[in-house]
Amino acid sequence: MTGRIPHLSSPGAFTVRKRDGNTARSRLGLVIRAILFDLDETLFDHRRAVAHAATRWTDSVCPGHELLLEAPALWLDLEDKHVPAWQAGECSFAEQRRRRLREFCRRLGLPQPADPDAAFAAFLTHYESAWAAFPDVHETLAALADLDEPPALGVLTNGAPDQQEAKLSRLGLLDRMEVVLTPDALGAFKPDAECYRKAAAKLGLAPEEVLMVGDNLVLDAAAPAQAGMTGVWLDRYRAEPCPRSPSITRITTLRELPGVLDALNSPRPWPWTPGATTGTTAGATAGGTIGAAAFAADLRMAGRGELALVPVS
């Protein structure tokens, strides 16, 4: 597939192509027709790019700053603090960037920029120069494409559409994706259940026909599972614990994903215990199968920050 992939910011931007022949079966005996990936920290190495940009930009403002090595972690913390204000409609995307930069400078004792937008543009130059996919991305997408009945692939991200699509293009991933779905297109952010339902609808599918894969336990696994999808938590940094639910599978590299699909395609009785049949792939999920009430409790714990989570992307 070639050409620009729509991020669906306007109605009719994408004509659905359903895959009637796909037979990768979910744990409930349904058919997985599509996989939606998160972008930052799932396909795109955001932490690496931030580390490069935060240190280079800080050093350009104050060479040899004594807190230079702390700059990347602070920048990531400030993303988590200020991005939600944009997501809640409290400020513009540009304004949350200004707020982030001002607090970053204040916390490090750097002079406040006279023109925050120009200063942030300089930061972005460093950030974009370090854009890279994780090493397991291209080979995994190629393996999925080589399946006898490959699923449709897409991206579901909370990021701004222009930047996220630019990342995919630079990484050579845009042409592999049938859709790039953003809050602009869906009118909702992860983990709102409507985000996942509308994403499935944009594909012309039911949520049960979609596999969601990402690095954030709540946004990319637990919440989509509650909305009807199958969630795959990509735990690259091996955080613990994972909600014990048959609707969530934990993997530590995307290379395990074809094995997850193969496991989903294998008929098995319900309820299904992941560790009993899929070895290191789904077997890494803690605890196997439990009831819906316990899973709901796990999800509430994750939402309160009582489970170890990776940064929101």
pLDDT at 295: 42
CATH architecture of 24-44+133-303: 3-Layer(aba) Sandwich (3.40)
Mark residue 8 as left, alpha or beta (left: phi above 0; alpha: psi -120 to 50; beta: remaining): left
Given a contact cutoff of 8 angstroms between Cβ atoms, the answer to whether 32 and 247 are in contact is: no
pLDDT along the chain (313 residues), means of 10: 37 38 50 94 98 98 95 97 95 97 98 97 98 98 94 96 97 97 96 97 95 96 94 88 70 95 66 36 33 41 39 34
Distance CA 185, CA 156 (A): 10
What pLDDT is recorded for position 264? 79
Q: What is the pLDDT of residue 31?
A: 77
Q: Coil, helix or strand for 170?
A: helix
- Alpha-helix runs per DSSP H in the chain: 46-61, 71-87, 93-108, 116-129, 137-145, 161-170, 183-186, 193-202, 217, 223-226, 257-265, 292-303
Question: Tell me, what's the pLDDT at 271?
Answer: 37
Tell me which residue of 239, 233, 237, 241 sits closest to 257, measured CA to CA: 233
CA distance 181 to 8: 6
The pLDDT value recorded for residue 124 is: 98
**Domain segments of the chain: what residues?**
24-44+133-303, 46-129
Three-state DSSP at 122 gives helix
- Strand pairing category for 230-234 and 210-214: parallel
Contacts of 242 (CB under 8 A, 6+ apart): 217, 233, 235, 248, 250, 284, 285, 286, 287
Give the three-class secondary structure for 292.
helix
State the Cα–Cα distance between residues 10 and 89, nearest whole angstrom.
19
Dist. CA 102–CA 111, nearest whole Å: 9
Torsion of CA 248, 193, 235, 152, to 10 degrees: 80
Contact indicator for 210, 227 with CB cutoff of 8 Å = no
Alpha helices in 68-220 (DSSP H): 71-87, 93-108, 116-129, 137-145, 161-170, 183-186, 193-202, 217
Q: Strand 248-251 and strand 31-32: pairing?
A: unpaired
Residue 55 backbone dihedrals phi, psi, to 5 degrees: -75, -40
Query: What are the beta bridge partners of residue 154?
Result: 36, 179
C-alpha Rg value of the chain to the nearest Å: 20
Q: Is the peptide bond before 241 cis (omega within 30 degrees of 0)?
A: yes
